[in-house]
Each structure stands twice: as C-alpha cells, then as structure tokens.
Amino acid sequence: MKKLLFVVGLFIAAQINAQSVMVGKNIHTDIPDVTKQQIINALDSLVYKIGSGKLNINDVEQDKGGLTVSILKDQQADINDTTSPKQLINLYPVAPGQYFISVAIMGSNGTSPLLKKIINLIGNDSGGKITFALPLNYLTRLWKTRKVGNIIYHSPDEINIDRAKKFDKKNTLIPTKLGLQPESMDFYLCNNYQEILPLLGLGYSAEANGNTRNGYGVDANCIFSVMHNEDFSHDLFHYYAAKVRKVPRNTAAEEGIAYSWGNAYYTDEKGEMILQKDLVIQLRLYLQQHPSAGLYDMFSKNPVVFNSMAKVRSVISGVICDEVERQRGTSGIIALINCGKGDDNYLAAVNSLININKTNFDTAVKALLK
C-alpha cells in the first residue's frame, strides 16, 4: 500500500512539474516583486487548469472569454507533455494593472532543443487577483470598428462594405434555412494567417509556420478572415451546421454544402472568394477536355483539377447537395448533415434521398452539371 501511494505521489508530482512554468534566467522587468510573484503563481494555476481539463470561463477575463478558453484548451497536449518544458520568457507592463506575458514551450529534435510555441497572454491585476486573456483586444485596440447588420467588423483600415453586406445576409440566410436564429459575430480582418496567430495568443507556432492562406473561426462568435476578405461564409455554414448535427461530421456532405451555400474558403488572385458557380463552369470545361475522366473517381480521389486550392471533391458534392435541396428541401440537407462519418454513409444518404449511388454516379452527376 505504501509503495502504491509512493508511486501515485511520484505521478502527481510529475504532472505538477510538467504543468508548472519555469522563470527564464533572462527575465528583466521593473514590475514589483510582489506583483511579479502573483502573476507567476496565477500563471502556474492557469497552466495546471489547462492541463487537468478544468479550465472554464470563470478562470479568464470575461470579454472574449469563450475564445480565450477555447484557444487555451487547444494547448492541453503541449501543457501535459513532460518532454516540453514551459518557460516564462517575457513579462512587461502595457498599462496600469495590465501585463504582457510570453511563455515558450520547448520540444526536442533528437538531442537539439526545438521551439514549439510561444504563447502570449494579457494579465490583468485587480487588487491582487490576476486574470488572463488573449492579447486580441490589446493588439486591436487602435483598429476601426464598423457594424454591418449582426456583424461587427474590426480592421486596421477600411472594409469592403459590399462583401460585408453579403456576409451579413448569409449570416441570416444560412441559420434560417437550418431552423436556427442568426447570431451576432465579431469579424477580424487580417491579411494572412500569420497575422491571425498573434491575435489568438500564438506568438510562434512550429505547426503553423509558413501557413498564410487560412482563416480561423467561427469560435465563440469570433471570425478571422481568409486573406482580408469580409465574406467567410464557408466556415459560417460549418458553425451553424454543428448546431443541428447529432453525429460525427461527414466531411463530404458539409464541404459540399459549405461550397454551395457559402464559398470555397479560399480567395482568388484578385482577393475575391472562390465561388461554387464558377468552379462548376471550370469543372464542365475540364470534363470536355478530359472525356475519359470519371466523376466518381474524381470524387473519391480528389485530384488537382483547378488552378486554385479549391477541391473538386467538394465541388461535386456541392452539385449533389444542391439537387438534394431542390428535391427534398432543407430536411434533405439536414439529413445529409446527420448522415454520419465517411463516404459510405454519405453515399447511402444520397442514394436514399435522390437515388444517386456508385453505379449511376457518373451519369447522374454529369446530368446535373449540364
């Protein structure tokens, strides 16, 4: 029994040690020692709660608290990794009672140390109680804001009002079709994904290194643009679809509907969102130029067809989903959303709804493309 308790004690000690934050030797700050220690203690408590899965919105600043919790929960694996030391590498005041905090998470590449992430937070001191937030509000404090319908746009410069109105319109249309209420959103315009990461508290991420084309969201009613475009209705659909989905997500179904109801996620060379209707035209042309190409093979194997990052698999699924909606209405779309994970479940649902299956796939889908 004593041996068991000793082992358990070692395990708990290892977990606490894995989740604690070391203070870097090169930390230089004029913050009073008492405040500095309060911040470090609060940071250790925060890291422990992340690692143990106990973090909730009451542990962080309430403004954008849902987003803060979501982002910090994503760091749980790194927090619990005993081979990834956590080190406080910067701490400085940015306003009275407000501090910018940087924590490095290290890894290793064989025998060499490797920087995995730098997590940045804002610490707020309220009478000795330290609470944390993402640096989002701080880093965008000088940005302009403009309300378009239910959307508040945040941008360092002017927005494209036509795109913004289009997105707001879709933010009403998509949930209404799914039987949901439209929600208000905060939409942050960034030029690329590397500009989004610091707003989300990631000063550096080895996993995201060099990634520029992506956006982020919808997360806690916050959206971060793809390449500074005001219309992120692709992921807007995914956000609302998750509210009516009762089973694991079917990627083929949801991507097809997102392409059709929203857009193809990525921007073209002019900065406009790539649209399903234009991709359908390109697919028709491709089939004319490649008469031996099989639509089922293209759906299954997803070869490169377009001169963009758009996926032919999703375009084909979008055409099918449009026919489901035409024949079966929104109830058919919701059935697709809830068909379950995997292509077999998708094809079974499509066959049940509009009688398209592996056997007649090429002929039936080609007819829909005319």
Location of structure tokens 């709660």: 49
Q: What is the amino acid identity at position 38?
A: Q
* Residue that terminates a domain, selected from 244, 266, 288: 244
Predicted confidence (pLDDT) per residue in 303-323, tens digit: 999 999 999 999 999 999 999
Distance CA 135, CA 103 (A): 13
Decide if 233 contacts 261 (C-beta within 8 A): yes
Decide if 218 contacts 242 (C-beta within 8 A): no
Banded pLDDT at 29 (limits 50, 70, 90): confident
* Residue that terminates a domain, selected from 209, 225, 244: 244
pLDDT of residue 19: 56
Banded pLDDT at 212 (limits 50, 70, 90): very high
Which CATH number is 23's domain given?
3.10.450
167, part of any domain: yes
pLDDT of residue 176: 99
* Residue-averaged pLDDT of the chain: 94
First and final C-alpha spacing in the chain: 75
Give the count of domains, the chain. Answer: 3
Secondary element (H or E) of residue 53: none
pLDDT of residue 368: 99
Q: What are phi and psi of 131, to 5 degrees?
A: -125, 155
pLDDT of residue 15: 43
pLDDT of residue 270: 95
Distance CA 169, CA 149 (A): 8
Predicted confidence (pLDDT) per residue in 155-191, tens digit: 999 999 999 999 999 999 999 999 999 999 999 999 9
Beta strands (DSSP E) in 16-110 are: 21-23, 86-95, 98-109
Domain that holds residue 298: 245-370
Distance CA 17, CA 48 (A): 10
Q: How many CA atoms lie within 13 A of 291 on its CB side?
A: 0
Does residue 360 carry a pLDDT above 50? yes
Decide if 157 contacts 225 (C-beta within 8 A): no
pTM score over 0.85 = yes
Residues 348 and 282 both lie in one domain = yes
Locate all alpha helices (DSSP H) within 200-294, ordered by sequence. 233-244, 251-257, 276-289
Residues 252 and 213 both lie in one domain = no
| Mean predicted confidence (pLDDT) in 29-42 | 93
Decide if 38 contacts 130 (C-beta within 8 A): yes
pLDDT of residue 345: 99
Residues 177 and 200 both lie in one domain = yes
Distance CA 135, CA 202 (A): 9
* Residue that terminates a domain, selected from 90, 105, 134: 134
Residues 168 and 125 both lie in one domain = no
pLDDT of residue 108: 76
Question: CA torsion 192→195→199→202, rounded to 10°?
Answer: 110
pLDDT of residue 84: 85
The residue among 124, 118, 78 whose CA lies nearest residue 102 is 118
Residues 272 and 358 both lie in one domain = yes
Predicted confidence (pLDDT) per residue in 246-305, tens digit: 999 999 999 999 999 999 999 999 999 999 999 999 999 999 999 999 999 999 999 999
* Cα dist from 225 to 10, 193, 196, whole Å: 46, 8, 8
| DSSP β-bridge partners for residue 112 | 109
Predicted confidence (pLDDT) per residue in 68-114, tens digit: 999 999 999 999 998 889 999 999 999 999 999 999 999 877 778 89
pLDDT of residue 27: 84
Distance CA 250, CA 153 (A): 31
